[in-house]
Amino acid sequence: MLPKDPVILLSYVNTKLRDRDADLEEFCKVEDADKDALCAVLAELGYEYSAPRNQFV
């Protein structure tokens, strides 16, 4: 289950992307997460996914 707090979610996602997952698609598959919903929540904080960096920046 993903964290509900957006700031903690950002930290959790970026950590998993760095340590475990090759890209956002893999992260969403492993976590059974909706990619669009995840991106929308983090966009509210001003973050978007950067494929070359494999993290939300």
Q: Give this prediction's pTM.
A: 0.95
Mean pLDDT of 34-53: 98
Rounded to 5 degrees, what are φ and ψ at 50? -110, 110
For the chain, report the end-to-end CA distance as a whole number of angstroms: 22
Q: Report pLDDT for 40.
A: 98
Average pLDDT, the chain: 98
Q: Report pLDDT for 21.
A: 98
Q: Report pLDDT for 35.
A: 98
Closest CA to 50 of 10, 15, 29, 23: 23
Q: How many helices (H) and strands (E) does the chain have?
A: 3, 2
